[in-house]
Chain A
Amino acid sequence: MNVWLNFLIDSLAFGATFMYGSTGEILTEKAGHLNLGIPGIMCMGGAGGCLVLNLVGNSNLPGFLIVILGILGAFFMSVLMGLIYSFLTITLRANQNVTGLALTTFGVGLMKVIFSKLDSVVYLVGPKELYRWPFAGRTDALQCLGVMFFLAVIIALLASWVLFRTKVGLHLRAVGENPGTADAVGINVTRYKYVATMVGSGIAGLGGFYYIIDYMASMEAYLSLEAFGWLSIALVIFALWRPHMTIIGSTVFGFLFSCSSYITNISWINVTMAAKPLLKMLPYIVTILVLIVTSIRNKREDQPPQSLGLPYFREER
């Protein structure tokens, strides 16, 4: 029984990486922008946070301040990445897919260069314990759930509340569905797009930082980060563009992705090594199935935002 509880907690902790990533991507997509730069942004978020920790990790600052500075570093670095994307796609109306892919190439590359220069003793070994608050020092599974896990849940719930319960959220959704109509009502389309894309990027970037400093807490973690950026984009579909659904979705994804290592530990399920990649394929297969089923059912509230991927040019209405 204990094995299963550990498994659940581990899935939750692992899932927080995608929870950040897909909550950020949902905000962006609700503004009508399909940001394929999320993997690059998450990588740069991780790099930004660790860059700050590299500066303050050895200092005498109080622990909570170091934690907050790291988070802020990750956030602002990814907001900067979001700014590049926003400027190109919103102001210069570039193709979103191409810009996103370029951003991913750039972000993943730059992150690797940055990490090759950081000192893991300074940015990782000291600070990683701080991020384990409030369960630091425990030996059971709960130690996986650090402060940034709870932040992920709070952000996901908050994003849902803003999107579906406030006027700002209503405006944002209008922008994503039909910017022409939103503009006619008097909503500042450009501003909504910019803010949503940049805040979304900032949130996604926290996911990368969380993965490196908390969940994996190893100096090689950054090498495997990119794949989870793509998984975050998949999770957006799975969650049907609802941030609170990412909490369940990310746990399921975390479960599917890490179950290969757990199942081989359990003696009564006889699984060969070869099944591992097939199990890891499951999150993507499930996402495809969700995509197909929602398109067949064709329910309006489960569809991607209508103007997703299309640039808005006021003078062309």
Chain B
Amino acid sequence: MRVKKANAVQEPLFHLAKRSEIAVWKAWVIRLAVILLGFIVCGLAAFVLIEKLQDDPSKIVDFYKCFYKGAFSTSRKLWKFLKNMAILQCISLAVTPAFRMRFWNIGAEGQTLVSVLGCIAVAFYLGGTVPAGVLLVLMFVAAVLCGMIWALIPALFKARWNTNETLFTLMMNYVATFLVSYFLIVWVPSGSSTLGKLNYGKLPSFGHDYLVIILIALILTIGLYIYLKHSKHGYEISVVGESVRTAQYSGINVKKVIIRTMAVSGMLCGLSGFLIGAGLDQSVTTESVGGQGFTAIMVSWLAKFNPLVMLLTSGLISLLNSGAAQISQDLNVNGAFPDVITGIILFFIIGCEFFINYRIIFRKRSQSILNKEGVK
């Protein structure tokens, strides 16, 4: 510490302290305020990027209306919004168990894509030769197995040799992508590499086409919440996440937990892949997952790895996407605009966590706190 004058200790302008706890409502007020701020910045960005707004600034109202319009204005849009949210929610749930034990699995994209591939491969080769029900079961098994294998490869190396899992799982994504393009060339003799919609292996639906998917996502959310919060496995995952040493001393087999948890993660990715393959597309492309595997990481993190809160965060991200897609359409801007909006809002949410976790104590204030303590 630098001494300026005798007995006068120079204190920095501010210092940081971890908050021991913060009222839940306070944290949510901060988050909401920050999201609002993010939306204002999005408006500014839109003003810079969209010519129509520059010509007629009053259109900025339309800009914000689009977020409502894109997701809720018609029942078709609402169903589509709910479907997108359900798929995103499933993949986000899938990455969560691994994250809770601080295993940075950023390979959900590849794990899901391989599952879609596996499920479509079964439909492609066996479609028409076995009864529809059996086919669906086989597709499901194939998807779950593929997802599990893709997740287990990095997990085994992590458990045995402590191989860096972030980089390993990242690379596995691209292996998966090129595997899909390989099979597309093999399967489509015309050379166009686009596989038409298969006639087999459609997930049965009732009520609405998307209702089954949405219900599965909901059941999965509750199931995973119970698994993580109220089961022995969930407890072990938390302990390994807190500290590997503590886990070892308390007799938890860390290697086993890593491998088992990644298997669960991979299987959930497999289920998501099954929903995409059998429930929606009946086909596979390299873009079948379309980056949702990466978005899911952010969704899961924003929800603090809590499956129930994840419904909020996946809803928010889906809302941003459908709203911004509407903006692209109404205000005539490039189709990549939703990503810009999502990025800006994410920056704000990511940044705001700091102000929830830490307190900034300025010089004067801390002085007065010190004085108070001195009185004691």
Contacts and interface: CB of A to CB of B under 8 A. Distances in A.
Contacts, number: 156
B6 interface: no
B244 interface: no
B162 A116 contact: no
A106 B343 contact: yes
Interface stretch (B10-18, B63-71, B78-86, B274-282): B10-18
Contacts of B15: 315
Contact of A285 (B166, B175, B297, B358): B175
A295 B185 contact: no
B47 interface: no
B370 interface: no
B167 A99 contact: no
Contacts of A278: 178, 182
Nearest to B105: A97
Contact of B354 (A94, A106, A298): A94
Contacts of B57: none
B339 interface: yes
A94 B350 contact: yes
Given A277-B185, A278-B178, A291-B168, A109 B338 contact: yes
B172 A288 contact: yes
B182 A295 contact: no
Given A88-B347, A106-B347, A109-B343, A281 B174 contact: yes
Contacts of A94: 350-351, 353-354
Nearest to A237: B167
Q: Report whether over half of chain B's contact residues are helix, strand or loop; otherwise say mixed.
A: helix
B337 interface: yes
Interface residues of A, number: 53
B181 interface: yes
Contacts of B166: 34, 97, 309
Contacts of A103: 343
Contact of B350 (A98, A107, A112, A291): A98
A99 B297 CA distance: 11
Where chain A touches its partner, the secondary structure class is: helix
Contact of A102 (B167, B333, B347): B347
A298 B161 CA distance: 8
Contacts of A98: 297-298, 301-302, 346, 350
A292 B167 contact: no
The CB with the most chain A CB atoms within 10 A, among B16, B338, B339, is that of B339
Contacts of B298: 98, 101-102
Contacts of B291: 105
A212 B127 CA distance: 44
B351 A88 contact: yes
Which of A105, A111, A287, A296 has the most chain B CB atoms inside 10 A of its CB? A105
A281 B175 contact: yes
List the 6 closest pairs (A to B, CB-CB), nearest first: A106-B343, A109-B339, A112-B336, A92-B354, A102-B346, A281-B178
27 contacts: A88-B350, A94-B353, A95-B301, A97-B106, A98-B297, A98-B301, A101-B298, A105-B291, A105-B294, A106-B347, A107-B343, A108-B336, A110-B343, A113-B336, A233-B167, A237-B167, A276-B185, A277-B182, A280-B178, A281-B182, A284-B178, A288-B168, A291-B163, A291-B168, A296-B161, A309-B104, A316-B18
Given A98-B302, A116-B336, 7 more contacts: A97-B104, A104-B294, A112-B336, A230-B174, A277-B178, A277-B182, A316-B18
